[in-house]
Amino acid sequence: SAGCISRVLFSPGVVEDLNPIGSNSYGVTTCETCAQNPCLNGGLCQEAHSAEGYACICPSGYSGTNCQELGEVCYAGACGGGRCVQSQGGYECMCPFGKTGKRCEKEINILEPAFSEDAFAAYPTPKAVAKLDVEMRLKPETIDDSILIYCAQANDGEGDFTSLAIRDKHLEFMFDAGSGPAVIRSEREIRVGEWINVTMWRDAQKAHLKINEDKPVHGRSPGSARGLNLQTPFYLGGTDPQRIRVNRIVGVKRGFKGCVSSLKLQNRKLNLLAEHTDSANVEDCSSAAPCQRDPCGRNGVCTDFGDGQFSCTCETGFTGKLCENEPTACNTRKPCKNGGKCRESPGNEYECLCLMGYGGKDCEKTVTVETEAYIAKSGYIELPRSMLPHHSEDLPEKVAFKITTTDRNGLLFFHGPPETMDGAGMDHFTIALVDGYVTVSYELGNGPASIKWDKYPISDGVQHRVLVVRTGKTATVQVDESNVAYGEAGGILRRLNAAGNIYIGGAPALRRMTGGAHSVGLSACIKELQIGETKPVNFAKMAVQGIAVGKCDDEMWQPRAN
């Protein structure tokens, strides 16, 4: 038989990419997925690592897998501080907590979260290997099949999971620790508009589900597996369809439509308004005056301004819109001067992330930085994107600098999407250290290309010179005066479309901007940075901003080992 295979799943979460084709093969060729040109309306087809085996580059005004949809496409800032998602006929916005409207342009006070089919709130993953205890109060607006709670081992719908869903007008509590699912179904039907208290409890293989004061419904998981391995965020009201595939055993993907007034997880009451780590399209359900809901924690005093507006006056040391932040060295002492940002450290200590031009423990010193700078692991220098304009796909783009560091891992240089956007799959140009070796990656829309200069690591505290040149799909990397490492991206696209500024040594939202590829910056002394054919960059004159940046020759800024 004949056909195409791109990836093989050997076990949950372990995927083997079959491209490029290995050296030991017979009768195997590349898959010509673009031979029939499935792209409509003048779209350009290119081979890609996708479910279809190709990706269409659509002309302006068209979108969709095959450019079949007429409508506007996502662009930077389309949704304000929200996330832009391509949809049939255009795009939709996933608005964060406190924002609503077609383009997330309106502010709302959320006292009691209300969910619709495309809404969710995510909270930190519970430590629930042996036991899980969840209590919540909810009111369904409809009793259609939907997800109330979901947490799993993996994003791809494989492995362990636990869930609470509405199925056929009943609540259904499920979990699978690896030897088959336990399914515990409520005896009573739930009703539209009725507030109910729900408890879902699990201890190893045993579990029960309880509604109000009804008799608990008991169940048990099959097999011998007892430990529940949960790794994803704890999703309430629905899941993030851009990141999560719900386990097929759950049998429902649509989000819950209704209100949730309280959630207790592992015997601790969560502040639904303040403790979420991610969210989309959550509205307000409360019809009561805001202060009647006692939104201000820690004995804060609520003041009602009318029209749903309120403010909290917090006790000394407590901060936050709802007084949710406990007293710390940062919010009681406010030690960081000259605009420095205070960050908590263990033992009620603190660290000041100083604006560029200032240094010292409390940012009390003036620091002059020109063509060389020490950047702390928690810092970065931001430069204007105009320094690397990408006007032509045929002109070489050069980045050169001298570096001294003892860090083995971290981001050195990044040009990609703006700070507010998720960088997964987006165009970028990145230089980083991976286990001490200089590694370059770039994405032009053809799939990521990566080059590792593997002669020797440079995290030895000795100064090294790094030169990276990208021309269209190809790039070279050279360290010191050694041999050059070469790489090339696949596909036909040659131009880098990066809308954000340039970042050196880190970035303000590093994990999000790099699509999860990098999570830490680099403690390093950077000298004589050249971008293009310009002279070495004068950071004091050219930087948009800088955080935790000092002089290389100052004792307090010397590189430290990890």
Contact indicator for 137, 195 with CB cutoff of 8 Å: yes
Mean pLDDT of the chain: 87
Contact indicator for 309, 290 with CB cutoff of 8 Å: yes
Q: For 333-366, CATH number?
A: 2.10.25.10
Q: How does pLDDT run across 249-291, given as a tens digit for each residue? A: 999 999 999 999 999 999 999 989 888 999 999 999 875 567 7
Give the pLDDT score at 559: 42
Q: Where does CATH 2.60.120.200 sit in the chain?
A: 113-284, 372-557
Position 394 pLDDT exceeds 90: no
d(CA 352, CA 342): 5
**Residue in this structure with the two tokens 């302006």, named with its chain if needed:** 60
Phi-psi region of 33 (alpha: psi -120 to 50; beta: other; left: phi over 0): alpha
CA atoms within 13 A on the CB side of 541: 6
Position 421 pLDDT exceeds 50: yes
Mean pLDDT of 532-542: 90
Phi-psi region of 496 (alpha: psi -120 to 50; beta: other; left: phi over 0): beta
Position 359 pLDDT exceeds 50: yes
Distances from the Cα of 53 to the Cαs of 392, 443, 544, in angstroms?
29, 17, 41
Position 191 pLDDT exceeds 50: yes
What tokens does 520 get? 């830490």
Task: Tell me the Cα Rg of the chain.
Answer: 27
Return the bridge partners of 525, or none: 374, 404
* Residue 457 CB partners (closer than 8 Å, separation 6+): 408, 435, 436, 437
First vs last Cα of the chain: how many Å apart? 54
Which CATH architecture group holds 113-284? Sandwich (2.60)
Q: How does pLDDT run across 288-325, given as a tens digit for each residue? A: 567 766 778 777 888 888 766 788 898 888 888 888 77
Q: Where does CATH 2.10.25.10 sit in the chain?
A: 1-71, 333-366
Q: How does pLDDT run across 481-506, given as a tens digit for each residue? A: 889 999 999 888 898 989 899 999 99
Cα-Cα-Cα-Cα dihedral sign, residues 102, 99, 271, 336: positive
Question: Which amino acid is present at 493?
Answer: L
Nearest residue to 540 via CA among 359, 382, 357? 357
Least confident segment among 168-177, 335-344, 404-413: 335-344
Position 47 pLDDT exceeds 50: yes
Q: What is the DSSP letter of 325?
A: B
Nearest residue to 441 via CA among 487, 494, 381, 395? 487
d(CA 195, CA 260): 9
d(CA 429, CA 502): 10
* Residue 8 CB partners (closer than 8 Å, separation 6+): 15, 16, 18
Q: Residues of the chain with pLDDT > 70: what percent? A: 91
Mean pLDDT of 205-224: 93
Position 15 pLDDT exceeds 60: no
> Can you tell me whether residue 542 is helix, strand or coil?
helix
d(CA 90, CA 81): 18
More confident residue, 558 or 48: 48
| Beta carbons within 10 angstroms of residue 332's beta carbon | 14
Mean pLDDT of 419-430: 89
d(CA 311, CA 104): 22
DSSP assignment of 85-107 = EEETTEEEEEPPTTEESTTS-EE
Give the pLDDT score at 327: 82
Nearest residue to 552 via CA among 516, 523, 512, 509? 523
What tokens does 96 get? 């964060």
More confident residue, 310 or 5: 310
Q: Are strands 120-123 and 234-236 parallel, antiparallel or unpaired?
A: antiparallel
Position 149 pLDDT exceeds 90: yes
d(CA 511, CA 462): 28
Q: For 1-71, CATH number?
A: 2.10.25.10
Give the pLDDT score at 226: 83
> Can you tell me whether residue 249 is helix, strand or coil?
helix
Position 562 pLDDT exceeds 50: no
Where does the pLDDT of residue 30 fall: very low under 50, low under 70, confident under 90, or very high at 90 and above? low
What would you measure as the largest C-alpha separation in the chain, in angstroms? 76
Q: Residues of the chain with pLDDT > 90: what percent? A: 53
Q: What is the DSSP letter of 510?
A: H
Least confident segment among 13-27, 311-325, 397-411, 425-439: 13-27
* Residue 489 CB partners (closer than 8 Å, separation 6+): 442, 443, 444, 446, 447, 448, 449, 473, 474
Residue 30: burial class (beta carbons within 10 Å; 0-12, 13-18, 19+) = exposed
Where does the pLDDT of residue 95 fall: very low under 50, low under 70, confident under 90, or very high at 90 and above? very high
On whether the 372-557 domain is CATH 2.60.120.200, my answer is yes
